[in-house]
Amino acid sequence: MQIARTKLGNKQGKAVRLPIEPILNEITSGFFAKWKKRDEKRAVQEKAIEILRIQIGKFRQALRISDGSGVEFYLPDRTVQTEVVEGLNRWNNAEYPTDIQTPLFPKG
């Protein structure tokens, strides 16, 4: 995971940018990159960014990257880095409101 591999400076932390497309490609075994319907693809990206922002936001302020490509947040030190990584490892999609999940997991 990109967050766990981020090397922090000796005296200062680092801003971390997580682009959403590589994450979606990985979790869909490459299907996301082949998705042809742009409107649906963009809707999935938007909701995935929101879910990631909410999850990381439990530990650090996470902001949407201005071009809409993902999420950015600041890791001041290894303690916070570990906290974020462990929190994401405990991720449970049941924590999110249905209005966020529904466009990602449509029924029928």
What mean pLDDT is predicted for residues 88-104? 64
H or E element in which residue 1 lies: none
6 pLDDT band (50/70/90 cuts)?
A: low
Domains of the chain (ranges; CATH) run 2-90 (3.30.56)
- pLDDT for residue 93: 63
Instruction: Note the pTM of the prediction, 2 decimals.
Output: 0.72
Phi and psi (nearest 5°) for 76? -75, -30
- pLDDT for residue 98: 56
- pLDDT for residue 78: 83
Tens of pLDDT, residue by residue over 48-89, are: 899 889 888 888 899 999 998 999 998 888 888 888 888 888
Structure tokens at 54: 């909410």
Q: Of 9-23, 32-46, 89-103, which one has max mean pLDDT?
A: 32-46
pLDDT averaged over every residue in the chain: 80
- pLDDT for residue 7: 64
- CA distances (Å), origin 12, targets 8, 9, 28, 47, 48: 7, 5, 35, 32, 29
Dihedral angle sign, alpha carbons of residues 26, 27, 32, 34: positive
